[in-house]
A = this chain, B = another copy of it.
Amino acid sequence: MIVGILGAGQLARMIALAGYPLGLDFIFLDPSADACANTLGEHLLGDYNDPGLLAELAERADVVTYEFENVPAAVAEFLSAHTQVYPWPNALAVAQDRLIEKTFFHELGIPTPAYAAVDSFESLKQAMASIGWPAILKSRKLGYDGKGQSVLKSADDLKSAWALLEDAPAIVEAFVPFDREVSIIAARNVSGASVFYPLSENLHRGGILRISESREGDVMQAQAETYVSRLMETLNYVGVLALELFERDGQLIANEFAPRVHNSGHWTIEGAETSQFENHLRAILDLPLGATAAVEQSAMVNFIGNLPSTEDVLGIPQAHLHLYKKTPRKGRKVAHATVRADNPEKLSKLIKALTTLADQVDDS
């Protein structure tokens, strides 16, 4: 069985590593010659919209999936006409456009921050009359790690923020003074069976995820499962999906979802009975989904920009290091490590040991 993946970055790499024990082989399409999954399967080197390579991928892979949600619509359509693609392209269409996404949440009764469409400076000013300060102006498309976003603290910020968008269709959202950020990773297979991971509690800095902790038995688990179920059932979703949420005053407010395996679920490799990567593969191959129970308590720390020394990380005997083999670059996720413990005090100490190493190399 050959699984095709659009993209051969660290997510594809971890999907492939999870797939080998299931006897799977992989073929990747990625424009970068040194894409970091490229030694774990065959690498079709070229643009995502190269018709010849897409045809080859469709021809040779039994099923195609992707590691990023900004797959061009034409590519998704071509592939789904020629082979089986999961998640279905409808999930891409929603996830690629923040306005459609927020509207979709709204229609499903999933709370969101107050938001409004912005397509001119005039409409931005009008929207701010009702949204209130502070707010965040975002382009509707191609958002990633906080790029293309401006915080609006007062009317003084409007002009520069609008100019930054260069007339791209946008959305303005009320800033949520959240108590914490969480996400829920869920998987649904072709037959419609679903599993839900324990909540991840996430810490972002500079728009980039820094730490995720597993939260088995969290008081917000049931609410998060209800919301993500609604998303998955409505989309007839197949694969792993991550829903990012704010918690405020005991309520969950949806921020965004990703129709793919997600950085806030990397702890599941060591910290859950079955990893998100393996369950993504089981889902798209319509295999029974694996148990998602947490194994002890665990946490993941991202390494951004530069790598700590392997010796330093492994000097923490409980640390599990995941190097992505990506060239260090400012603000780039180049590795992560997880730790696991049977009590919160031990876990805190281990997280502290990892974040100390992460902060030393962080250049973002």
Give Cα distance in the complex from A77 to B173, angstroms: 68
A53 lies within 8 A of chain B by Cβ: no
A317 lies within 8 A of chain B by Cβ: yes
CB distance from A89 to the nearest CB of B (A): 27
**Nearest B residue to A318 by beta-carbon distance?**
B291
A190 lies within 8 A of chain B by Cβ: no
Interface residue from B21, B318, B340 paired with A321 (Cβ < 8 Å): B21
* Contacting residues, chain B, for A321 (C-beta < 8 A): 21-22
A128-162 to B contact mask, C-beta < 8 Å, 1/0: 00000000000000000000000000000000000
Give Cα distance in the complex from A25 to B39, angstroms: 8
CB distance from A157 to the nearest CB of B (A): 42
* Contacting residues, chain B, for A282 (C-beta < 8 A): 314
Q: Chain A contact residues (Cβ within 8 angstroms of B): what range? A: 20 to 34
**Nearest B residue to A315 by beta-carbon distance?**
B288
* Contacting residues, chain B, for A274 (C-beta < 8 A): 317, 320
* Contacting residues, chain B, for A287 (C-beta < 8 A): 310-311, 314
A278-306 to B contact mask, C-beta < 8 Å, 1/0: 00001000011111000110000000000
Number of identical protomers:
2
CB distance from A288 to the nearest CB of B (A): 4
CB distance from A245 to the nearest CB of B (A): 26
* Contacting residues, chain B, for A25 (C-beta < 8 A): 39
A125 lies within 8 A of chain B by Cβ: no
* Contacting residues, chain B, for A250 (C-beta < 8 A): none
Q: Are the C-beta atoms of A323 and B21 separated by less than 8 Å?
A: yes
Q: Are the C-beta atoms of B273 and A289 separated by less than 8 Å?
A: no
**Nearest B residue to A39 by beta-carbon distance?**
B25
Q: Are the C-beta atoms of A310 and B39 separated by less than 8 Å?
A: no
Q: Are the C-beta atoms of A23 and B288 separated by less than 8 Å?
A: no
Q: Are the C-beta atoms of B314 and A23 separated by less than 8 Å?
A: no
Give Cα distance in the complex from A227 to B321, angstroms: 31
* Contacting residues, chain B, for A361 (C-beta < 8 A): none
Q: Are the C-beta atoms of B295 and A317 separated by less than 8 Å?
A: no
Q: Are the C-beta atoms of A322 and B21 separated by less than 8 Å?
A: yes
Nearest first, the 3 closest Cβ-Cβ pairs linking A and B are A23-B323, A291-B317, A288-B314
Q: Can you list 12 pairs linking A and B with CB atoms under 8 Å apart?
A: A13-B20, A17-B17, A21-B321, A22-B321, A23-B310, A39-B40, A274-B317, A287-B310, A288-B317, A290-B314, A291-B318, A295-B340
Q: Which residues from chain A sit less than 8 Å from chain B, CB to CB?
A: 13, 17, 20-23, 25, 39-41, 273-274, 282, 287-291, 295-296, 310-311, 314-315, 317-323, 325, 340
